[in-house]
């Protein structure tokens, strides 16, 4: 079985984000989005899904957390898509 690991970087005018994901992990990782509730929600995904997730985000939080939350979601979704590859053997 191939390793289901990905790393995605997203840089916009508002945010700079790096996500590293291991789908076959143990629920470990470091979350640093700057938005405590977003960190909490992603922590629940990694713990209960047994995914290793590292996220680091520098966003324009002095304005609000909209761009940070949106761009973290986009980047995490891209990391899942990349780690899943061709999705062969995936079951519902």
Predicted confidence (pLDDT) per residue in 18-56, tens digit: 999 999 999 999 999 999 999 999 999 999 999 999 999
Residue ranges covered by each domain of the chain: 31-87
Is residue 9 predicted with pLDDT exceeding 70?
Answer: yes
Distances (CA, A) of 69 to 1, 32, 37, 42, 88: 33, 12, 10, 11, 30
Residue 90: pLDDT band with limits 50, 70, 90:
confident
Is residue 85 predicted with pLDDT exceeding 80?
Answer: yes
- Distance of alpha carbon 7 from alpha carbon 20, whole angstroms: 4
Specify whether the CB–CB gap between 51 and 21 falls below 8 A. Answer: yes
Nearest residue to 83 via CA among 27, 19, 36, 26:
19
Mean confidence (pLDDT) of the chain: 95
Residue 1: pLDDT band with limits 50, 70, 90:
low
């Amino acid at each position: 079985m191939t390793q289901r690991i990905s790393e995605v970087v997203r840089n916009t005018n508002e945010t700079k984000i790096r996500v590293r994901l291991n789908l076959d992990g143990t629920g470990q990782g470091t979350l640093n989005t700057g938005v405590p509730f977003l960190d909490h929600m992603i922590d629940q995904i990694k713990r209960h899904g047994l995914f290793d997730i590292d996220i680091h985000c520098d966003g324009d939080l002095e304005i609000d957390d909209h761009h940070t939350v949106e761009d973290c979601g986009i980047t995490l979704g891209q990391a899942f898509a990349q780690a899943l590859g061709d999705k062969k053997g995936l079951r519902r």
